[in-house]
Chain A
Amino acid sequence: MPLLLVVVAVGGIFLVTEVLPWTLSRQTAVKRNGKYDVIIIGGGATGAGTARDCALRGLSVLLVERKDFATGATGRNHGLLHSGARYAVTDRESAAECIGENRILRTIARHCVEPTDGLFISLPEDDLGYQTTFVEACHRAGILAEAISPEEARRLEPSVNPALVGAVRVPDAAIDPFRLVSANVLDARLHGAEVLTYHEVVDFIRTGNCIEGVVLRDASSGELKRVEAKVTVNAGGIWGHLLARKAGVEVGMIPAKGSLLVFGHRVNQMVINRCRKPADADILVPGDTICLIGTTSDRIPFEDIDKNEVLSTEVDVLLREGAKLAPSLATTRILRAYSGVRPLVAADDDPTGRSVSRGIVCLDHAERDGLEGFVTITGGKLMTYRLMAEMATDLICRKLGRTAFCTTATTPLPGSKSESKRESRRGRREFISMRAGEKGAEGRHGDRVEKISFDKPTDAALVCECEQVSVAEIKYAIESLDATTLVDLKRRTRLGMGTCQGHICAVRAAGLLGRASGDSEGALSDVASFVNERWRGVCPIAWGDSLVEAQFTQWFYEGVCGLGEIVDKKDREEMI
């Protein structure tokens, strides 16, 4: 009898606290009089995460992005699911945030995460005494860090520099930022959010001391649109600095550029870090079929934040330092170089931007600057995006007077709802016998693969052979994941991210895009911008096999397809 009472009581509390607010909020999840509850500016991880959180809590949401999702810093980093160990010594708060989010993302975003684990290695020139400080700091931050012998490290990770004198094993992992953002956007939409890509905020709608919405410019038509909302969220990454200024407030951000190199295949299976104070090119991450070395760190002026240049001096540093982590990098083919700009928030005058806290900054401009209806969420890291979104959404709910709770820490993203065949023991047999295109799709989309139809004989045919992207997956990305160009498709599927950098797949995918949009001329000019975009990344490392490949690509597209003749009128961007 008492047991029954307890059950009833718990059930009652659950109904009142969880279900009731949810059902109430569901009913209000519609915009009234063309006015949204919240407009989120920025289609990076933070913006997409905030859109999802708001949508899950029943707010009416509009997510706007000037280009495509994950085109800023979100898609231009290591794709490292930090254990937090890197920050344990210098920034305990960040370290604790990292390990917390690390555990959460492994569950809710399992299809984006590869649980590789990581090593922090000490080389003969490093101070082995730092290892003790490091391990202690990790333990204080709640990170499972275990010092292992050099032999054990060489056994676990055969590619590691064999000269190492010590190693610490930590729960690092790899995370795919493109899939992560795509899954967040998808879930936001499944919960009623609206999304506009290729829409740039050109102005804010301002009444007195209140931001009441934004003016958008549609990149394809040039048309201006006004949209109103009770709260506008600035999740623009480094561009948020400029957005805030447009809204009339100052958020002092430091643009810190980091460059990375992508190698042709996985040299390492575990993340390899240097066990020393964070420095240039000291993280090597295995990500999907490739591995990445990075990063450099340089403060750049705001005029340069869209340039994404990689200098030859940076390539040199990355290669030299990278080969210290895994010597075989020196003889491994490099696919491309890229750079991103970290949105660090000014704390002191460190010119490199490295000793600035990576802490999360969530600003209510009403409180801070007396500007109503405007919120900035910035700082942080890719892997703390969910926590940032939670903090921002909490603030938005407070401002709107809502009481809904955050559920993103426990609600799996679409694609991670159930164990995939690839992961499960029982599905293994079935997975092995699947065709390459199906395997590729399942690896990328997790359980959402059931939405991809492989019924027709041509569906499993490969469009991108390097990355096993099939016709069916391309169709799915066009229909369900807002992909409108080849570069969008690249971010949804890995199209053109492999060894040939778009040589084989660009024309094939353009054919499918053209068929879907009915605009074959547009698809053709899209091929030109896609091939050029790929070349931009290859250019800084264009030697050896990569140069041969690039010349072959050029010969093919210019000579055989005659693309040199096509003036790319619809170049919407200096995309990437």
Chain B
Amino acid sequence: MKKQESRNISAGNFEQCTKCTICTVYCPMLEVNPFYPGPKQAGADGERYRLKEPKYYDEALRYCLNCKRCEVSCPSGVRIGDIIALARAKNSRGVPKLRDVLFANTDLVGSVATRVAPMLNRALESKPIRGAMDTLLAIDHRRILPRYAEEKFTTWFAKNALAEQSKYGRSVTYFHGCYANYNDPQLGKDLVKVLNAVGFGVRLMEGERCCGMTKIASGMLSQATADAKRNLAEIRREVGEGRRVIATSSSCAFALRDEYEHILGLDNHDVRSSISLATRFIYRQMERGNIKLAFRKDFKMRVAYHFACHIEKLGWSIYSTSLLRMIEGLELLLLPSQCCGMAGTYGLKRENYNYSQAIGESLFAHIESLGVDCVATDCETCKGQIEMSTSVKVLHPINILAEAIDVEATRKLNDLK
């Protein structure tokens, strides 16, 4: 038969599901929540009914964490998480709650919050205020919210780093994302330190917006699309000038590469392969012999690596762990690959708090039993969850790398003055 031009409406490959049910084994939510129908029922099975009549949409789909572990486990390439996310965005009714809008607009909230950071951080720690937020905004009072920085990463960069970046022969563009910018500028500073040491100049994109992951998770697709289009235009310019774009947050990288196409329906194939994760970029540059690292002789650290959901979906945890293994004096332990329960802003919400903690419970116990100096992970919200739920500090692999390298020796190795 002649090949037909066709619009295949079995979106997300839901028809490729062979009902093997493996995804239900890997779903962290299904294990702790009997009201969640599970990825198979909520995804491929439910999709047939939603196509029949949207009224068959099951409200229990709101429990989905968007961790995409179902997709990683699927042997048939069904984009289960995408199917659920789209069904949610299309069918959940009504205007989003104020809380969800606040959580989704991380960049807007962040830019305001950093201005009043000292006051805000203290306020967020006070019990009465957390109680009030629980009542008014349904943000669980037991949850410790991320602290805001007093100086944004971008401000620091403009003041302290921008001028010297042009000295380097090679350059790379850093997609810092909201977290590094508003909450943890140290991560951005550490990345600049490492990249500069190996001879890469760092560029930022002036028009960078939030990657949109939080908006996608809250079903605010039109706002996410607006941000995504802006970001893609910026990224295209950078890629056009021959630079790669790297992120420190695995969720940002995942959103830019996959969610833009699969959830927002934007065509990003021209730049997709140029978007990477910081650890992956550094590892591959080393592998090709483009850069070299020298480490401090006195560095000693026992680290447990936590596999964040979205880095597992990207398939890139191997780069972070391999990079960490290269560090002399670092003992690396691998935690079992499991969700910590935070899932971005999911665990902040009062109605999800108990599920969130139940999902992570065994992970937290495991971490406590290891006696490590810190946990390493590429995801900022996992960091928040693990730090809140255990006594262990959590660092990004880049933080650790920055601490471990001998800057002078590294510069020398890379023929820099």
Contact partner, B1, options A267, A330, A436, Cβ 8 Å: A330
B5-19 vs A, CB cutoff 8 Å, 1 = contact: the mask equals 111111000111111
Contacts of B4 in A (CB 8 A): 323, 327, 330-331
B49→A289 contact, CB < 8 A: yes
Among residues of B, the one whose C-beta sits closest to the C-beta of A289 is B48
A332 at the interface (CB under 8 A from B): yes
**B47 at the A interface (CB under 8 A):** yes
Cβ–Cβ < 8 Å partners of A332 in chain B: 8-10, 15
Is B41's beta carbon under 8 Å from chain A?
yes
Q: Give the Cβ gap from B243 to chain A, nearest Cβ, in Å.
A: 38
CA distance A320 to B2 in the complex (A): 9
Report if B299 contacts A (CB, 8 A): no
> B55: CB under 8 A from chain A?
yes
CB neighbors of B among A471-530 (8 A):
498-500, 503-504
A466 and B19 within 8 A (CB): yes
A545 touches B9 (CB 8 A): no
Instruction: Assess the B52–A266 pair: CB atoms within 8 A.
Output: yes
Contacts of B7 in A (CB 8 A): 158-159, 327-328
**Using Cβ atoms and an 8 Å threshold, which residues of chain A touch B16?**
333, 545
B37 at the binding interface (Cβ < 8 Å):
yes
* Contact (Cβ within 8 A) B55 A436: no
Tell me the bound Cα distance from A443 to B45 in angstroms: 16
Partner of B37, one of A264, A290, A327, A436: A436
Known: A265-B15, A549-B19. A331 touches B45 (CB 8 A): no
Q: Which residues of A contact B21 (CB under 8 A)?
A: 504
| Cβ–Cβ contact B8 & A331, under 8 A | yes
Q: Residues 257-300 of chain A: 1 if any B CB is under 8 Å from the residue's CB, otherwise 0?
A: 00000001111000000000000000000101110000000000
Known contacts A327-B5, A500-B19: A433-B48 contact under CB 8 Å: no
Q: CB within 8 Å of A: which of B46-62?
A: 46-49, 51-53, 55-60
CA distance A316 to B51 in the complex (A): 26
A165 on the B face (CB < 8 A): no
In the complex, whether B27 has a CB less than 8 A from a CB of chain A is no
Cβ contacts B331-372/A at 8 Å (1 or 0 each) = 000000000000000000000000000000000000000000
B16 → chain A closest CB, angstroms: 6
- Which chain B residues border A465 with CB–CB below 8 Å? 19, 40-41, 45
Say whether, besides A289-B51, A462-B41, A503 and B19 are in contact (CB < 8 Å): yes
A432-B55 in contact given A320-B1, A504-B21 (Cβ < 8 Å): yes
> B9 touching A159 by the CB < 8 A rule?
yes
B41 neighbours in A (Cβ, 8 Å): 436, 462, 465
Assembled-state Cα–Cα distance A468/B56 (Å): 10
Name which residue of chain B comes closest to A326, CB basis: B6
Q: Which chain A residue lies CB-closest to B3?
A: A330
Q: Judge whether A190 is part of the interface by a CB distance below 8 angstroms.
A: no
Contact A545 B18 (CB under 8 A): yes
Please give me the residue from chain A that is nearest to B54 by CB atom.
A432
**Which residues on B are within 8 Å of A, measured CB to CB?**
1, 3-10, 14-21, 37, 40-41, 44-49, 51-53, 55-60, 76, 93
A290 to chain B: closest residue by CB: B48
Residue interface mask A150-163, B partner, CB < 8 A = 1:
00000000110000
CA distance A76 to B56 in the complex (A): 27
- Nearest CB of B to A185, in Å: 25
- B38 vs chain A, min Cβ distance (A): 9
Hey, which chain A residues are within 8 Å of B51, CB to CB? 265-266, 289
Given contacts A289-B48, A328-B7, 13 further A-B contacts (CB under 8 A): A265-B10, A265-B14, A266-B51, A327-B6, A428-B55, A436-B41, A498-B48, A499-B44, A545-B15, A545-B16, A545-B76, A549-B18, A549-B19
User: How far is it, in angstroms, between the C-alpha of A545 and the C-alpha of B15 when the chains are bound?
Assistant: 8
| Closest B residue by C-beta to A265 | B48
- Cβ of B60: which chain A residues have Cβ within 8 Å of it? 435
Whether A319 touches B57, Cβ cut-off 8 Å, given contacts A289-B49, A498-B48, is: no
CA distance A525 to B41 in the complex (A): 28
Q: Kindly supply a per-residue 1/0 record for chain A positions 310-324, scoring 1 wherever the CB is within 8 Å of any chain B CB and 0 otherwise.
A: 000000100110010
Q: Is the CB of B9 within 8 A of A267?
A: yes
Contacts of B76 in A (CB 8 A): 545, 548
Q: Are the C-beta atoms of B9 and A499 separated by less than 8 Å?
A: no
* Distance (whole angstroms) from the CB of B73 to the closest CB of chain A: 16
Judge whether A552 is part of the interface by a CB distance below 8 angstroms.
yes
Shortest Cβ distance from residue B219 to the other chain A in the assembled complex, whole angstroms: 15
Contacts of B5 in A (CB 8 A): 327
Which residues of A come within 8 Å of B, CB atoms?
158-159, 264-267, 286, 288-290, 316, 319-320, 323, 327-328, 330-333, 422, 428, 431-433, 435-436, 439-440, 443, 462, 465-466, 468, 498-500, 503-504, 545, 548-549, 552
Q: Which of B10, B20, B57, B58 is A264 in contact with, Cβ under 8 Å?
A: B10
Chain A positions within 8 Å of B55 at CB level: 422, 428, 431-432, 439
Closest to A501 in B: B19
Contacts of A333 in B (CB 8 A): 10, 15-16
B224 to chain A, nearest CB (A): 24
CB closest residue in chain A, given B21: A504
Q: Is the CB of B48 within 8 A of A436?
A: no
In the assembled complex, the Cα of A436 lies from the Cα of B47 at a distance in Å of 12
**CB–CB A328/B37 < 8 A:** no
Q: Which residue of chain B has the shortest Cβ distance to A428 in the bound complex?
A: B55
* Known contacts A545-B16, A545-B18, A549-B19: A288-B52 contact under CB 8 Å: yes
Taking the closest CB of chain B, its distance from the CB of A496, in whole angstroms, is: 12
Q: A265 with B19: in contact, given A328-B6, A432-B59 (CB under 8 Å)? A: no
Known A327-B5, A328-B7, A332-B10; judge A266-B18 contact (CB<8 A). Answer: no
CB contacts (< 8 Å) of A503 on chain B: these are 19
Give the shortest distance, in Å, between A501 (CB) and chain B (any CB): 9
Residue of B15, B41, B51, B58 most packed against chain A (CB within 10 A): B15
Q: State in angstroms the CA–CA spacing of A289 and B45 once bound together.
A: 10
Are A433 and B52 neighbours in the complex by a CB distance under 8 Å?
no
In the complex, what residues of A have CB within 8 A of residue B52's CB? Answer: 266, 286, 288-289
A527 to chain B, nearest CB (A): 17
Residues of B within 8 A of A428 (CB): 55
Residues of B within 8 Å of A316, CB to CB, are 1
* A/B interface sample: 12 pairs, CB < 8 A: A266-B52, A267-B9, A286-B52, A289-B51, A328-B8, A328-B9, A436-B37, A439-B55, A498-B48, A503-B19, A545-B76, A552-B19
Query: How far, in angstroms, from A56 to B14 measured CA to CA in the complex?
Result: 46
Distance in angstroms between the alpha carbons of A523 and B81 in the assembled complex: 37
B19: which A residues are within 8 A, CB to CB?
A: 465-466, 499-500, 503-504, 549, 552
CB distance from B12 to the nearest CB of A (A): 12
Q: Given that A264-B48, A330-B6 are known contacts, is A552 also in contact with B18, CB under 8 Å in the complex?
A: yes
Closest-CB distance, B145 to chain A (whole angstroms): 31
A546 → B minimal CB distance (Å): 9
